[in-house]
A = this chain, B = another copy of it.
Amino acid sequence: MLFSELHTPKRTIMTPGPVEVDPRVLRAMSTPILGQFDPAFTNIMNEVMEMLRQVFQTKNRWAFPIDGTSRSGNEAILCSIIEPGDKVLVPIYGRFGHLLVEICERYGAEVHTLECPWGEVFEPQVVIAEIKKVNPKIVAIVHGETSTGRIQPLAEIGKACRERDILFVVDAVASIGGVEVKTDEWYIDGLIGGTQKCLSVPSGMAPITYNDRIETILFARKKVERGIATEEDLRFTRSKHAISSNYFDLSMLQDYWGPRRLNHHTEATSMIYALHEGLRLVLIEGLQQRFDRHMLHEKALIAGLEAMGLRLFGDSRHKLPCVTCVEIPNGVDGESVRKMLLDEFSIEIASSFGPLHGKIWRIGTMGYSCRKENILAVLGALEAVLIRHGVNVIRGEALQAALDEYKVTRLAGMAVEKSS
């Protein structure tokens, strides 16, 4: 049986990822392959590292992508620093906190958790009190929780960790490139970013960064593969357990990304091209301009949703600007609404997980998807679909409110967007 070539529908993607990719990034992926040790390619790798440092706002030596989807970055950092029995504290305020627990448990950590209701975040002092009680080796937390649309303030927690010599690991998959992430200023030791969200690069890479506090652990657990090890490498005896995963062993990955260029995997050439172009577009736009753009479109979206009479979900003081959670009106089948949006309007929005499944829709405004035409498209279509589902929305006001918001913001001289 032979299949035909790809013939995909054109979608407006307003989910919390994967989101639309800038055509310039898509084109970069068509660039012919280079060998992995071709100087022309290793130069591209080095440029990616430098651009990642800028986006992560760090002076760390190590900033490179793991060749896997976002969660591979979490696993790479966590499995490289966790030894069996290590205490890890994970404050959970949504699905991806549970994922951190799951990974830590699998690598033998003694995991302590702290939970708050989905839709809220933690007062930093609450986490710090628990840190004092548990005295963990590691605190791992999500920065932007897409499942609930919340953002956790990190600066105070990071400072408290550093004062106690605790490692602070942050999952910034959903926030990087969309809202402020200050790796060094917030005392983050290991940070994981995502590509397919606010960076608007296809899924398949997880850019990470870590500092010398983590590198010290890597040195103690270092191993070189026998097939390529020198005599000296083989004499090298580890003072601690080797890392359980070969693929995620950061001590090997940094020997591949560093000047020794010691062969590990074969770097994912086309994805590196995409990441190179994606990071370049972020830096050309400017970090602050990009954050402002995400907030501008969030404002217009919220104005439209509220004008329609819909209610937002969650603690508004800690809303993640690039994900807007909307309560599904009573008696409405949320999946039916999503299906009609996709089938009739070719627009995709998301549902949620666990306790929020069937309760909220999530509308993403991330990266290249975060454009005026998309905001207006989703508002117009949602109104029509809700009317079709018998919901008593306020008619005709959503688009007016959004357009007003764009006009007001323009008049106030705020955030002139470069990308939309």
- Given A102-B226, A245-B75, A8:B34 Cβ within 8 A: yes
The answer on a CB contact under 8 Å between B228 and A354 is yes
**Interface: A409 (CB within 8 A):** no
* Residues 9-60 of A at the B interface (beta carbon under 8 Å): 9-11, 13, 15, 17-21, 24, 26-36, 38, 40-41, 44, 47, 50-51, 54
- Given A106-B246, A280-B5, A95:B228 Cβ within 8 A: yes
| Complex Cα spacing A274 to B29, Å | 10
| Complex Cα spacing A27 to B277, Å | 17
| Complex Cα spacing A2 to B245, Å | 35
| Complex Cα spacing A25 to B377, Å | 32
Q: Lowest 9 CB-CB distances: which A-B pairs, in order?
A: A204-B268, A95-B227, A98-B227, A69-B265, A202-B270, A29-B29, A98-B226, A203-B266, A26-B30
| Complex Cα spacing A354 to B227, Å | 6
Please tell me which one of the listed residues B26, B34, B70, B342 contacts residue A265 in the complex, with CB atoms under 8 A apart: B70
A: number of interface residues (CB 8 Å) = 93
How many monomers of this protein are in the complex?
Answer: 2
Residues of B within 8 A of A95 (CB): 225, 227-228
Residues of B within 8 A of A18 (CB): 33, 35-36, 266, 269
| Complex Cα spacing A111 to B401, Å | 67
Interface residues of A (CB under 8 A from B): 1-3, 5-6, 8-11, 13, 15, 17-21, 24, 26-36, 38, 40-41, 44, 47, 50-51, 54, 67-72, 75, 79, 94-99, 101-103, 106-107, 147, 196, 202-204, 223, 225-229, 242-248, 263-271, 273-274, 276-277, 280, 283-284, 342, 348, 353-354
Please tell me which one of the listed residues B1, B11, B97, B107 contacts residue A38 in the complex, with CB atoms under 8 A apart: B11
Chain B's nearest CB lies how many Å from the CB of A154? 20
| Complex Cα spacing A36 to B19, Å | 10
Residues of B within 8 A of A13 (CB): 33-35
Chain B's nearest CB lies how many Å from the CB of A343? 9
| Complex Cα spacing A99 to B98, Å | 32
Chain B's nearest CB lies how many Å from the CB of A177? 16
The answer on a CB contact under 8 Å between B266 and A70 is yes
For the complex, would chain A's binding face be called helix, strand, loop or mixed by DSSP majority?
loop
The answer on a CB contact under 8 Å between A75 and B246 is yes
The answer on a CB contact under 8 Å between A204 and B19 is no
The answer on a CB contact under 8 Å between B30 and A27 is yes
Please tell me which one of the listed residues B6, B44, B223, B267 contacts residue A44 in the complex, with CB atoms under 8 A apart: B6
Residues of B within 8 A of A276 (CB): 3, 6
Residues of B within 8 A of A247 (CB): 68, 71-72, 75, 248
By beta carbon, the residue of chain B nearest A41 is B8
Please tell me which one of the listed residues B97, B227, B280 contacts residue A96 in the complex, with CB atoms under 8 A apart: B227
- Given A6-B28, A18-B36, A280-B3, A69:B266 Cβ within 8 A: yes
Residues of B within 8 A of A99 (CB): 225, 227, 246
Residues of B within 8 A of A40 (CB): 8-9, 11
Chain B's nearest CB lies how many Å from the CB of A111? 11
Residues of B within 8 A of A228 (CB): 95, 353-354
Please tell me which one of the listed residues B19, B97, B101, B269 contacts residue A203 in the complex, with CB atoms under 8 A apart: B269
By beta carbon, the residue of chain B nearest A280 is B3
By beta carbon, the residue of chain B nearest A108 is B244
- Given A246-B103, A354-B228, A8:B32 Cβ within 8 A: yes
The answer on a CB contact under 8 Å between A33 and B9 is no
The answer on a CB contact under 8 Å between B204 and A270 is yes
The answer on a CB contact under 8 Å between B270 and A270 is yes
Chain B's nearest CB lies how many Å from the CB of A233? 11
Residues of B within 8 A of A79 (CB): 245
- Given A226-B98, A246-B106, A269:B71 Cβ within 8 A: no
| Complex Cα spacing A99 to B224, Å | 10
